[in-house]
């Protein structure tokens, strides 16, 4: 299959070419056979993403590649299905978390609205009580003024 590789920001400076180990050093190392996925992971390291390019399916011959073992296609199909399943699960989890966050925000907004309503009601009650107290004071003073005016008229008549 065609594989698309993306390397993280490449350095603009060039390092000197690496020296190949001498033949005697290479003979000391045993040969290890790994599945293709493991080989890609080890060869590329964590700086690369491995995935099938969008043009890979179109470039693939209709009958498959000659000489490609069927098990590799089956394994690749399994990897693709597993990847697709993981992506769907991750997306479901992301949407679930977003819904949870939205619900939490709505609950918080509701609590804040109730608290604001309670404070406004308390302030309104306080103002109402103060107005009633002032009204009582004014009515008392108006009654006292009338009494004083009546006394004043009597004194004027007597004089």
DSSP designation for 60: S
Domain housing 150 = 29-158
Angle at the Cα of 149 (from 145 to 152), degrees rounded to 5? 140
Q: Give Cα separations from 10 to 14, 15, 93 (angstroms).
A: 10, 12, 33
Cα distance between residue 64 and residue 70, in whole Å: 9
Q: What is the pLDDT of residues 90-109, one digit of tens each?
A: 999 999 998 899 999 999 99
The reply to whether 14 falls in a domain is: no
Cα 104 to the chain's mean position, in Å?
Answer: 13
pTM passes above 0.75: no
Q: Count of domains in the chain?
A: 1
The reply to whether 21 falls in a domain is: no
* pLDDT above 80 (res 10): no
Do 72 and 15 meet the contact criterion of CB atoms below 8 Å apart? Answer: no
């Amino acid at each position: 299959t065609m594989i698309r590789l993306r390397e993280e920001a490449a350095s603009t400076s060039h390092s000197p070419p690496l020296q190949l180990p001498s033949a005697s050093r290479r003979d000391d190392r045993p040969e290890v056979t790994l599945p293709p996925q493991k080989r890609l992971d080890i060869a590329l390291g964590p700086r690369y993403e491995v995935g099938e390019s969008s043009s890979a399916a179109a470039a693939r011959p209709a009958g498959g590649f000659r000489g490609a073992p069927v098990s590799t296609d089956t394994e690749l199909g399994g990897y693709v299905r597993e990847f697709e399943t993981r992506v769907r699960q991750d997306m479901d989890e992301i949407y679930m978390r977003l819904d949870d966050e939205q619900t939490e925000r709505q609950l918080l907004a509701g609590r804040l609205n109730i608290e604001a309503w309670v404070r406004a009601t308390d302030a309104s009650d306080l103002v109402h009580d103060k107005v009633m107290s002032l009204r009582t004071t004014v009515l008392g003073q108006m009654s006292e003024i009338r009494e004083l005016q009546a006394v004043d008229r009597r004194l004027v008549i007597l004089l």
